Structure formats: C-alpha cells, structure tokens
Amino acid sequence: MAVLVGRQAPDFTAAAVLGNGEIVEGFTLSDHIKGKKAVLFFYPLDFTFVCPSELIAFDKRLAEFEKRGVEVIGVSIDSQFSHHAWRSTPVEKGGIGEVKYPLVADVKHEIVKAYDIEHPEAGVAFRASFLIDEEGQVRHQVVNDLPLGRNVDEMLRMVDALNFHQEHGEVCPAGWTAGDEGMKADAKGVADYLTKNSGKL
C-alpha cells in the first residue's frame, strides 16, 4: 500500500451526487477543491453497517470543516444512483439522509487503485482518509480495515494542526489540539517545549 503523504493527490473525474442531491457525470477533484484544503475519504459500500455511522459523523461536523476552509468528499465503488438512493433513505431506515457533501461513484475502481486503498480480496475501498492542502499535496492519511470505524474528530484535529503549522511555522507535538502551544523545530525549541510540557505527554 502506497504512502501518499508528501505527494500530489491523484486527480480524478467521475460521476457523483452533490451535496444538494444533484447527480453530475463529470465531478473533478481539482475543480471542486480549487485551491482549498480537502478531506477525501473512502468507504466500502452504500447500505452497509459501519459506513452510515461514518458518513453521518462527517455530515454532523461539516460546518466545522467548512469553518476551517475544508471541502469534504466521500468516495465508494457504488454508482451515483446507489449514492442517491442511500441519501434518500431516512437514517431510521438505515440510510444516511441528505448529507451535504459530494459522494463520488468509483464504479470502475480507478480512484481506489490510484490511491492504493483497495481491499485485496473484497475489492472495496478500505476506510481511508486523506487530508489535502491548498497545493493539492497529501499532508495526512489514515487507513482502517473494514470493521474499524474512523474518528472524524481526529481529522478535525489534523486540520487544526496543519492550519497552525501554516500560520505560525511551528510544529505540533504529540496530542496537540487547537489552543495548545506549538514547538519551534530546533534543538532549543524541543528543550523549551519538553521542559514545560513533558508531564502532559
């Protein structure tokens, strides 16, 4: 499995269901992002088990991502019509409701292969998430096996960490959260930080 951190996120064009429910045939990642940060996340299949909890969790935190200038995009190997049907199914009946971010249809498995996160036996996507910066570079990725639901709040933390680093030029130590002190990336910075904060680690 490839590590894409530090590399350009593979671009793609595919059919998708937009956050307003419209089906489009030519959704292009780079056009949609247009110089903004993005969280691109993959999930195995529509109408399954762990997946709806993750998609709903992303939707419930969408305003937090948007406040940070981040686009959220979901991808699975299902068709745009399956995505649309799942969005049209109420949560209490196993659907995801009208989530407000795009769901991309990777029916040819081209995107999961480009990101190298296709399950070798099941042929579906692992639960993979990629944080992409304004230049289209992957800055963070995490890949979970199929039974293991991801933590959407952790992705928000990583967005905050990237924003902090970009704004202040400092690095973010273990467990860093918004509002915490950063660390200067030199020997003195490490010593100063650890002197004050090693007890919290």
d(CA 24, CA 98): 16
List 17, 51, 99, 131, catalytic entry:
51
d(CA 122, CA 102): 24
Please indicate whether residue 172 is annotated as part of the active site. Answer: no
The answer to whether residues 39 and 155 touch, using CB atoms and an 8 Å cutoff, is yes
The answer to whether residues 117 and 143 touch, using CB atoms and an 8 Å cutoff, is yes
Residue 25: phi and psi, rounded to 5, are: -95, -20
d(CA 160, CA 179): 10
Parallel/antiparallel/unpaired status of strands 138-144 and 127-132: antiparallel
Question: To which residue do tokens 């910075």 refer?
Answer: 189
User: With 0-12 CB in 10 A as exposed, 13-18 as middle and 19+ as buried, what is 108?
Assistant: exposed
Q: What angle do CA 53, 60, 68 make, to 5 degrees?
A: 125
d(CA 158, CA 175): 10
Q: Letter for the amino acid at 107?
A: V
Instruction: Name the residues annotated as catalytic.
Output: 51
